[in-house]
């Protein structure tokens, strides 16, 4: 409602209520962060489940259908398919992304998935406010060798090693 802040008592009461509300908000935020940190320390995954996983009691487990498709995405990329080829293959097989309402995986989302270390059993949580970083192990869905072969190909495609065997010949 409206407060007559020209009245000294009303003004003081409004300021006290405002300060108390700010205090409650900060306490609630701190408790939320502490709860999240406690769950992470217990090995739980506090983010939305990555494609290929589902959560049971806060822990990542392989999704019965999407887990196999995730593995195929890594294999396909290692074998030379582009992110657009992978998207088209998933679309042909009626595999839909969990968040995109178009029913199509976005190529940059596929590339981000292929870089995600959660798939080899490592996830890191960093709380900016406290500065605390916790790295946990989780169920890997992709073999480390396959993951790092994909990383090598991605690095190459980004220009990391493209000029290594390149030479110029000048005719004078």
Spatial distance between the Cα atoms of 47 and 136, rounded to a whole number of angstroms = 13
Cα radius of gyration (the chain): 25
- Whether the CB-CB separation of 59 and 138 falls below 8 Å is answered with yes
Q: Cα angle at 11 between 5 and 17, to 5 degrees?
A: 125
Q: What is the pLDDT of residue 130?
A: 80
Question: Sign of dihedral through CA atoms 20, 26, 29, 35?
Answer: negative
DSSP conformation class of 119: G
Spatial distance between the Cα atoms of 160 and 7, rounded to a whole number of angstroms = 69
Q: What is the pLDDT of residue 30?
A: 85
Cβ neighbors of 38 (< 8 A, separation 6 or more) are none
Low-confidence ranges of the chain (pLDDT < 70): 1, 3, 157-172
Residue for token digits 């406690």?
38
pTM confidence score: 0.74
Q: What is the pLDDT of residue 92?
A: 95
Q: What is the pLDDT of residue 164?
A: 42
DSSP conformation class of 48: P
- Whether the CB-CB separation of 87 and 107 falls below 8 Å is answered with yes
């Amino acid at each position: 409602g409206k407060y007559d802040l020209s009245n000294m008592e009303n003004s003081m009461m409004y300021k006290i209520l405002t300060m108390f509300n700010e205090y409650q908000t900060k306490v609630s935020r701190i408790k939320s962060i502490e709860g999240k940190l406690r769950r992470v320390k217990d090995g739980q995954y506090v983010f939305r489940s990555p494609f290929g996983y589902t959560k049971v009691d806060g822990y990542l487990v392989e999704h019965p259908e999407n887990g196999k498709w995730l593995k195929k995405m890594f294999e396909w990329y290692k074998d030379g398919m582009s992110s657009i080829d992978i998207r088209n293959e998933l679309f042909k097989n009626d595999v839909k992304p969990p968040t995109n309402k178009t029913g199509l995986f976005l190529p940059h989302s596929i590339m981000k998935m292929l870089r995600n270390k959660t798939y080899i059993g490592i996830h890191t949580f960093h709380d900016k406010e406290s500065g605390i970083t916790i790295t946990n192990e989780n169920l890997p869905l992709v073999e480390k060798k396959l993951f790092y072969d994909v990383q090598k190909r991605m690095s190459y495609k980004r220009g990391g090693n493209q000029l290594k065997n390149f030479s110029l010949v000048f005719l004078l």
